[in-house]
């Protein structure tokens, strides 16, 4: 069973840091409440597998993901896949998130290490709260 183990937002686009939350509101057409990286319509929320973060030795939240997921490889989710998190929030996977140059600012070579592991971008189809511990269900 896949679950949310981290909920993150970035207070500013170039702050280089993420803020951890126990829960956050996902709003259709916008993204996570208070996240400066939400960029409708395709880049509202970034899902990342905790196992991928661990494999490259970075802590959750450091690569600016919004939702850290344990128990599944999000990179295997196809474009168009719908995902429910918790009771109400529904997302649609829109694209692979390719590692950018900012990953090398965290650690030299990290961009290359994250190839195929940076996560999947999604848009929010149905608003709802998402929280640490929520079950992630493929629809």
CATH 2.40.33.20 matches 2-138 = yes
List strand residue ranges (DSSP E) for the chain, in order: 2-9, 19-21, 23-27, 31-32, 45-49, 67-70, 82-85, 89-96, 120-126, 128-131, 135-138
Residue 15: per-residue pLDDT: 64
Residue 41: per-residue pLDDT: 85
If you compute the radius of gyration of the chain from its CA atoms, what whole number of angstroms results? Answer: 13
Residue 92: per-residue pLDDT: 98
Domain spans of the chain, in order of start: 2-138
Ranges of the chain whose pLDDT falls below 50: none
CA distances in angstroms from 108 to 39, 49, 112, 114, listed in the order given: 27, 21, 9, 12
């Amino acid at each position: 069973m896949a679950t949310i183990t981290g909920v993150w937002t970035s207070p500013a686009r170039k702050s280089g840091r993420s803020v951890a939350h126990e829960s956050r509101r996902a709003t259709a057409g916008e993204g996570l409440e208070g996240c400066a990286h939400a960029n409708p319509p395709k880049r509202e929320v970034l899902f990342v597998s905790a196992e991928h973060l661990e494999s490259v030795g970075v802590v959750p939240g450091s690569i600016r993901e919004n939702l850290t997921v344990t128990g599944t490889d999000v990179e295997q989710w196809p474009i168009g896949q719908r995902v429910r998190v918790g009771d109400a929030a529904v997302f649609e996977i829109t694209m692979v998130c390719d590692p950018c140059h900012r990953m090398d600012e965290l650690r030299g070579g990290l961009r290359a290490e994250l190839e195929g592991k940076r996560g999947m971008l999604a848009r929010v189809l149905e608003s709802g709260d998402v929280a640490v511990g929520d079950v992630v269900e493929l629809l």
